[in-house]
Structure 1
Amino acid sequence: MPKQVWFLIIGTFVNTVGNSFLWPLNSIYIHDHLGKSLTTAGIVLMLNSLAGVFGNLVGGYLFDRVGGYKAILIGVVLNLLSISLLTIWHDWPQYIIFLAMMGFSGGIVYPAIYAIAGSAWPEGGRRAFNAIFLANNVGVAIGPALAGIVADIKFDYVFSANLFFYAVFFVLVLTTYRRFDAISMTTKSLSSDDAKRRNKAPIIAISILSISLVVCWLSYSQWSATISSYTQGLGMSLSQYSLLWTINGLMIVAVQPIIKPLVTRWEKKIKHQLVLGLVLMSISCIIIYFAGSFKMFAAAMVILTFGEVFFTPIIPMIANKLAPLGQQGFYQGLVNSATTIGRMIGPVFGGFMVDLYGMQALMIILSAALIIAIIPCLIYDRALQKAQS
């Protein structure tokens, strides 16, 4: 694995630890501490995600135009400013403004990270993106566990901890990421007018696949939106809820040796991995339908995690393969935007459904939607096949 990818792994880990101090607890803070409804909490998280969609597109554009280092640095500086303001002022309505700012600045970073990973280790295939995926989820395992402990002491300390980790990430970017521009700008220089001459098949393919991605993250976002508050209503503590994310993060690392034989066997059968991932996510929704205790929620999280490890790392790999030369950042921005759109719609849709019909109705709808989302995964490359023929 190239040294550049290792630096990306470390940076992703630090960034995610800091970010995961806050995002799993947003709904709880808005609902329980600021006294707003779940629907209102969903709208706030929607605005955060909407800002993230624009941030994803800007991040991909910046990678293609000014290089990976500058794109990431711009995102991190804006992120530091946003969380600093949120740490000082986190009452209503300032919370909405600063959380939206964090969504935009955080969205800039990830398309550049994935684009650099694909450029730095093109022969790595799935491994480069899986490494970033693992780093992200180890951060998810550690961050929420620490956040639950910190929040039980005093919720205000969560914002300070978030700020600390973003500051560490800023120092890491400033000291080690400058060399990444040689990778991204070299990729750009190879493109000339080639991208302009490409047909529309790749953009059609990634757009179709993005439909499944939106549905996947609409469902996944319920864990940090409606499910978080639902567990509190069932009598679970913040520490227990945070432990669910620790299970998720640790399992993602622990199951790698278990799934490796199947992933190796299906190395060229990308659709098999996508379909299996969505089916497992659908099953996790059914388990939540019946859940009334920590053990049941933990079981649902375990099944969800297995689905995640098959589905999620494949998406940036497909985007990297489909992207014309010089447009890697743009394509990574597109798939990250689809992820963020799912996160944007999810809290509002979930909060509305739970407020009107209850959690069980929401889980049935999401389970069915995840099965339907298999269709785009099966047909996304038809336009490519026609173009090749």
Structure 2
Amino acid sequence: MGIDVGRPAAPDAQQGTGRSSTRRLPRSAWLVLAGEAVSCGGMGLTLPFLLVYLHEQRGIGLGAAGLIVASIGLAGFVGNPVGGWLCDVVGARRVAVAGLLVVAVGAALTPAVRSTWQGFLAAGTYGLGIALAAPARGALLALVVPVPLRGRAFALRYGLNNLGQTLGGLIGALLVVASPGGFTAIYLVEAVTFLLFALLTVRVRPRTNEPVGRSPGGYRQVVGDRPTRAVLALIVLVVAAGYGQHSAGFTGYATEGAGVDAAGLGLAFAVSTLVVVVAQLPVNGWSARIPRSRTMAAAAFTTALGWAVALVGGAVSDSVWPFVVAMGLFGLGATAFSPVVAALVNDLATDDLRGRYNAAFNLTYTIGFTAGPALAALFLSAGYPAAPLTVAVVVLLGAVLLSLRLGRLLPASVNLPAVQNHRGTQ
């Protein structure tokens, strides 16, 4: 089993539930978090504009350009499992550095793209590097942070990453508008951000030696653990029906089904980003005091409520405000869900399989982000703009029930570590 129910309790003062716990994070954790924030700023610079760059600046057909962009995510199906295995064999820090260097190469190749095959080469290199590094990045943060502070560290990571991507997107837009050479600049800057992350990672020192080598269990042990299997299934459902509809089903229904214009859509997305940034601290404080299974259930329900508001609002009015409210609810659900599941998977993991656990975690996001938009595209192309969000609401309500069921599968030390650690001191 990938569960350690015998971890020693920690003093309540060491819990990841407040600002004092943030100050208690070790130096290596801040190195990882700083690298994450900087590199996410680099990603924010470029990813929103990659399709436009390939099509308008390099003359690649829209269909081919879309496939090139999609190849970044598809690389995860190969890179995530390989990256997780390598983490457990040679160590998370080494794999993280190698993956980040591959990402930097892919970003640096992008300004040189002049044909379709070159676009696939650059995007494939970039996506493979992201996929290889992703399990290592999660494993490394878990290894440098004491168990009681793990939830706080992953919550902080989520907030900083979102802030970095938001600021990067704003700066990228300014650079692209200001000069025709802005596209070249943003990809080179992005390459530098990943090089910086690699340099910071070299300086990271895990609290204990990583138990690298050949593990007899492998991925079979990861998926053979019933609570872990349930958590991974839950993540796929929530990502496909929540995150996967953010720019697919929601956008399709808003524009095709309800006639929302680009300005209204931009306002809705801006509100979502604002909610993520503003709600981060209060949501994290609230979620630290209740079982993680209930936090995940609340996140799935909040997202379902958001999609229901959009569906009803689009059917009964011409106003953009139901869609703005829906995006706000989506942002609130995402803020509660992502940090909790990242910490939960790492609490379920054993150190000798931590890379593989994080690989499985990242692969669930890859599957969800692939399946969700694909399903939405089928409904939209068939002329049913409301169908993707309707199905998503049903799936998310099912995820609520699965989350509550999960509360009976998880050990108390994993489901509510703060309360368990406090009891251990009495």
TM-score range for the pair, normalised by the shorter chain length: 0.7 to 0.9
Within 5 Å, give how 1:180-191 maps onto structure 2: 180=204, 182-183=205-206, 186-188=209-211
1:278 matches 2:303: no
What is the one-letter code of the residue matched to 1:352?
L
Alpha-carbon distance in structure 2 between the residues aligned to 1:42 and 1:206: 34
TM score, norm. by length of structure 2: 0.76
Counterpart position of 2:364: 338
Deviations 1:160-210 (A, max 9, x none): 314313313313422x32243x42871316x997968x9778633222221
| Whole-Å separation in 2 of the counterparts to 1:231 and 1:5 | 42
* Preserved contact between residue 281 and residue 303 of structure 1 (Cα < 8 Å): yes
Q: Give the aligned partner of residue 373 of structure 1.
A: 399
1:49 equivalent in alignment to 2:70: no
How far off its partner does 1:338 sit?
A: 0.6
Structure 2 residue aligned with 1:135: 160
Q: Which amino acid aligns with 1:337?
A: L
Match of 1:220 in 2: 243
Q: Which has the larger radius of gyration?
A: 2
Structure 2 letter corresponding to 1:284: G
The secondary structure found in structure 1 opposite 2:45 is coil
Could you say which residue in structure 1 is the equivalent of 2:169? 144
- Match of residue 186 from structure 2: 161
Shift of 1:48: 2.7
Q: In the alignment, residue 346 of structure 1 is paired with which amino acid? A: G
Aligned pair in 2 of structure 1 residues 209, 86: CA closer, same or farther (>3 Å)?
same
Aligned to 2:123: 99
Q: Distance in 1 between matches of 2:46 and 2:152?
A: 29
Question: 1:199/1:2 Cα in 2 relative to 1: closer, same or farther (>3 Å)?
Answer: same
Shift of 1:59: 2.3
Query: Which residue identity lines up with residue 156 of structure 2 in the other structure?
Result: A
- Structure 1 SS opposite 2:211: helix
Q: What is the Cα-based RMSD across aligned positions, in Å?
A: 3.5
Q: Distance in 2 between matches of 1:104 and 1:301?
A: 31
Q: Does 1:326 align with 2:349?
A: no
Contact 1:54 1:337 in 2 (8 A): no
Q: What's 2:383 paired with?
A: 357
Which of 250, 254, 274 in structure 1 is aligned with 2:278?
254
* Aligned counterpart, 2:26: 2
Distance (whole Å) between structure 2 residues aligned to residue 221 and residue 145 of structure 1: 23
Deviations for 1:20-74, whole angstroms, at most 9, x for unmatched residues? 233345566778885546xx77755553322113222222222222223321121
Residues 1:208 and 2:230 are matched in the alignment: yes
Q: 2:47 aligns with which of 11, 14, 23?
A: 23
Alpha-carbon distance between aligned partners in 2 of 1:59 and 1:132, rounded to the nearest angstrom = 20
CA distance in 2, matches of 1:215, 1:31: 33
- Structure 2 CA distance for aligned equivalents of residues 280 and 29 of structure 1: 35
- Structure 1 residues 172, 29: CA separation in 2 closer, same or farther (over 3 Å shift)? closer
Contact 1:56 1:107 in 2 (8 A): yes
- Indicate the percent of aligned positions where both proteins have the same amino acid: 21
Name the residue aligned to 1:125: 150
Q: Distance in 2 between matches of 1:213 and 1:317?
A: 13
TM-score of the pair, normalised by structure 1: 0.82
Q: What secondary structure, in the 3-state scheme, does the structure 1 residue paired with 2:89 have?
A: helix
Question: Partner of 1:236 in structure 2?
Answer: 262
Deviation at 1:308, TM superposition (A): 0.9
Shift of 1:366: 1.5
Query: CA–CA distance in 2 between the matches of 1:361 and 1:199?
Result: 37
Alignment CA distance shift 1:138-1:184 (3 Å): same
Distance (whole Å) between structure 2 residues aligned to residue 144 and residue 98 of structure 1:
20
Change (3 A) 1:36 1:52: same
Q: How does 1:280-319 map to 2 (within 5 A)?
A: 280-289=302-311, 290=313, 295-319=321-345
Tell me how far apart the structure 2 counterparts of residues 136 and 206 of structure 1 sit (CA, whole Å). 25
Question: What is the deviation of 1:278?
Answer: 0.6
